[in-house]
């Protein structure tokens, strides 16, 4: 089941530069997309989300872009800080049918921000 | 800030034994979930619970698994007869309405030996 894919297992960025994490999905029923950050031995922490009626959502240093026609979303972190180093998961859900809001996760991208 | 809490943080059990993983979701939330993450793999959905009943379950969630919300605050996941392949991090999550962010607990690491 590869409905949500993060094709880059890792990304290394210099402090102060932009980090861009990518995510692709195949299920056109998805209408709500989220990014989570996860440290080892902790639960995922919500970062930012976007509804399918929008193409951009910003929250401080984090911006999520959604391209519905390409079934692609990305997370931009500007400027990147060493504390941003973690695993980033893209997730998607659908309000329709019998879904009840379950999240389908990508495989995750390990972001390392170097001082 | 309200948070989802899970106990225990780590559980070691013998194959074939029953385990109960416990969660206290955020108090005004209505939707409850269990997910798991096998080491090195993605976070996978197990089951959702709404209005005091299972609303959806994955093919992983077979007859060995059950969930309960016995007292309006706790939300438990029971595995009746654990197998080696049940070893994973188990995460409880809750959300207030359907298409909003889910808040996750810190997880229970289950090790089956």
pLDDT band at A40 (very low <50, low <70, confident <90, very high): confident
- Give mean pLDDT, residues B11-29: 96
pLDDT of residue B72: 78
For residue A98, pLDDT beyond 90:
no
Q: Shortest Cα distance from A115 to chain B (angstroms)? A: 27
Contact assessment for residue A87 and residue A34, using Cβ atoms and an 8 Å cutoff: no
Long-range contact list for A35-38, CB < 8 A, 24+ apart? A35/A62, A35/A64, A35/A75, A35/A88, A35/A89, A35/A90, A35/A91, A36/A88, A36/A89, A36/A91, A36/A105, A36/B104, A37/A84, A37/A86, A37/A87, A37/A88, A37/A89, A38/A86, A38/A87, A38/A88, A38/A89, A38/A108
- Give mean pLDDT, residues B20-38: 95
pLDDT band at B98 (very low <50, low <70, confident <90, very high): confident
A42 touches chain B (CB under 8 A): yes
Contact A100 B95 (CB under 8 A): no
pLDDT of residue A26: 96
Residue B4 CA to residue A22 CA, distance in Å, equals 28
For residue B81, pLDDT beyond 70:
yes
pLDDT of residue A1: 60
Which tokens hold the place of A44?
């995922």
For residue A96, pLDDT beyond 80:
no
Considering chain B, what percentage of its residues have pLDDT values greater than 90? 84
Nearest to A86 by CA among A70, A110, A105, A61: A110
Question: Which chain B residues have any C-beta within 8 angstroms of a chain A C-beta?
Answer: 4, 6, 31, 33, 35, 41-45, 48, 50, 55-56, 89, 91, 93, 95, 98-107, 109
- DSSP string computed for B49-94: EETTEEEEE-TT--TTEEEE-TTSS-EEEEESS--GGG-EEEEEEE
Contact B98 A98 (CB under 8 A): no
Sole residue written with tokens 């793999």: B41
pLDDT of residue A95: 75
- Per residue in B48-66, pLDDT (tens digit) is 999 899 999 999 999 999 9
pLDDT of residue A97: 62
User: Hey, which residues does A73 pair with through a beta bridge?
Assistant: A23, A66
């Amino acid at each position: 089941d590869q409905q949500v894919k993060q094709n880059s297992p890792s990304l290394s960025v210099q402090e102060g530069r932009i980090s861009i994490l990518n995510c692709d999905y195949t299920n056109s029923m998805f209408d709500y997309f989220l990014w989570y950050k996860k440290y080892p031995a902790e639960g995922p922490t919500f970062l930012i989300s976007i509804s399918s009626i929008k193409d951009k959502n910003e929250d401080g240093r984090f911006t999520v872009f959604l391209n519905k026609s390409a079934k692609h979303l990305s997370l931009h972190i500007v400027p990147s800080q060493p504390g941003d180093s973690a695993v980033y998961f893209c997730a998607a859900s659908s309000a329709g049918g019998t879904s009840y809001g379950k999240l389908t996760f990508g495989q995750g991208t390990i972001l390392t921000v170097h001082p | 800030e309200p948070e989802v809490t899970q106990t225990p943080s780590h559980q070691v059990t013998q194959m074939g034994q029953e385990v109960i993983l416990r969660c206290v979701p955020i108090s005004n939330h209505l939707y409850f979930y269990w997910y798991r993450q096998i080491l090195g793999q993605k976070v996978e959905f197990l089951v959702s619970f709404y209005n005091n009943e299972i609303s959806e379950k994955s093919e992983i969630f077979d007859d060995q698994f059950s969930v309960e919300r016995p007292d309006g605050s706790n939300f438990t996941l029971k595995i009746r007869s654990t197998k080696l392949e049940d070893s994973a991090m188990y995460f409880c999550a809750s959300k207030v309405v359907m298409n909003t962010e889910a808040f996750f607990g810190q997880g229970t690491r289950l090790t089956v030996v």
